[in-house]
Amino acid sequence: MKKVIIIIALIAGVLAFQAIRPESGLIEQAAADTMDVNPNGSSELSLLMRDMQKYTNQAKADLKAGKTPAPFPAAFNKLFTAKISENNTKSDFYNQFGELYISSVKSYASSTTENRVETYNNMVNACLACHSQHCPGPVPVIKKMKVE
Ligand code: HEC
């Protein structure tokens, strides 16, 4: 009799295992998350940073090609409200650095050919100023964005 119970228990165990395994979606979801550069998924602020980085790279290309700057992207105002990663914090000066950056982008976007290089570099310096207190990782990449 004991043997029968053990066999039934084993079969039940196998069936239960099969039930967890099938394409439940859980496994696929986990795989999709690892496509992100950040293992825990990107914060709102990280995603915004990547847009800011794109804008700056485009600005540098435009500068070299003699094109007029793209207008100030209103979405950058989210800098003050976008959620930071859970393992990260904003310093007491975060908002001041943010304002400095926003006004530097506006100056660049409305620059003339005379002050375009200067306003562009001010914008990159505003990234660096905030990054001197937050998230040091991207600093070497940001430094390379400057124009002679
Ligand atoms: C007001 C402060 C501030 C300014 C200005 C700022 N950053 Fe950031 N940046 C941060 C913080 C804080 C993080 C970390 C975000 C998080 O952990 O959620 C970050 C993260 C990043 C990241 C990593 C994003 C990722 O994929 O996780 C890059 C790249 C970056 N910033 C580039 C830039 C560039 C380029 C500029 C200027 C165009 C800039 N930052 C301006 C505060 C700032």
List Cβ neighbours of 28 (8 Å cut-off, separation of 6 or more).
Answer: none
Q: 59 with 31: CB under 8 angstroms? A: no
Residue nearest atom 1 in ligand 1 by C-alpha distance: 98
Residue to substitute in 88, 94, 135 for testing ligand 1 pocket (most ligand atoms within 8 angstroms of CB): 135
Taking alpha carbons only, the member of 59, 45, 47 closest to residue 105 is 59
Residue nearest atom 13 in ligand 1 by C-alpha distance: 135
Instruction: Tell me the pLDDT band of 23, cut-offs 50, 70 and 90.
Output: very low
Residue nearest atom 22 in ligand 1 by C-alpha distance: 49
Among the residue ranges 23-32, 38-47, 75-84, 96-105, the one predicted with the least confidence is 23-32
Q: 59 with 29: CB under 8 angstroms? A: no
How far is 88 from 57, CA to CA, in rounded Å? 25
DSSP string, 95-126: HHHHHHHHHHHHHHHT--TTTHHHHHHHHHHH
pLDDT digits (tens, 9 = 90+) for 102-116: 999 999 999 999 999
Is the pTM for the entire model greater than 0.85? no
Distance 131 CA to ligand 1 centre (A): 7
- The pLDDT of residue 41: 77
Cβ of residue 101 lying under 6 Å from some atom of ligand 1: yes
Distance 29 CA to ligand 1 centre (A): 27
